[in-house]
Amino acid sequence: MYKPKTIFAQHAFNVVSTYVKTKDISALKKQEPPKEFQIKRACFVTLHNLDGSLRGCIGTLEPQFKNLWLEIISNGVAACSRDSRFPPVLPDELENIEISVDVLSEPEKVKDFDILNPKKYGIIVTDGLRRGVLLPDIDGIDTLEQQIDIAKRKAGLSFKNNDELEFYSFTATRYH
């Protein structure tokens, strides 16, 4: 059975397990978070099947809650139940799912594309109305061009030239 290695991934796993089994996370929301969670940060919660395939991923680019504890609860529930690419996770799937939490830095407007590396930086692409995001260090994404193309596609901006768009970068610390 999968055992998360960090407190952030353990919390996300508890959230997903509790939600999938009971649909009630009220007790988790009421808990006093450990000090490591008492920061206001955006995050992504990602679920993978044991074969490495994506099973769900939802996150925020700006924090929506007063602390990381609540941010992980919200994104964990969404990743297992509201990622439109997948059906909701079922209880019998839990033993075959691995979870990671990416804690994001504040996005910064890109001034120099030459310093961006898709292994280190995530990318946000926007036309002011729509935006696409791709986390850093995604398997199979080796170039900035690939990263930008995927983020543009996710936002429905593939038809726009890069000079018509704004770009932001961020770093993420991934906890498994």
Residue-wise pLDDT for 26-66, tens only, equals: 999 999 999 999 999 999 999 999 999 999 999 999 999 99
Mean pLDDT (the chain, rounded): 94
* Helices (H), ranges, 7-46: 7-22, 26-30
pLDDT (mean) for 61-89: 97
Structure tokens at 158: 């593939």
What is the Cα–Cα distance from 125 to 20, expressed in whole angstroms?
33
What is the Cα–Cα distance from 77 to 18, expressed in whole angstroms?
9
What's the gap between Cα 79 and its chain centre? 9
What is the Cα–Cα distance from 170 to 162, expressed in whole angstroms?
18
What amino acid is encoded at 6 in this protein? T
| Predicted TM-score of the model (pTM) | 0.91
Residue 78: count of CB within 10 angstroms of its CB: 17
**Which domains, from first to last, does the chain contain?**
7-104 (3.30.700.20), 108-175 (3.30.1490.150)
pLDDT (mean) for 87-92: 97
> How many CA atoms lie within 13 Å of 155's alpha carbon, on the beta-carbon side?
25
What is the Cα–Cα distance from 23 to 67, expressed in whole angstroms?
22
139-167: per-residue pLDDT in tens? 899 999 999 999 999 999 999 999 999 99
| pLDDT level of residue 5 (50, 70, 90 thresholds) | confident
DSSP helix/strand/coil, 62: coil
* Parallel, antiparallel or unpaired: strands 131-134 and 108-109: unpaired
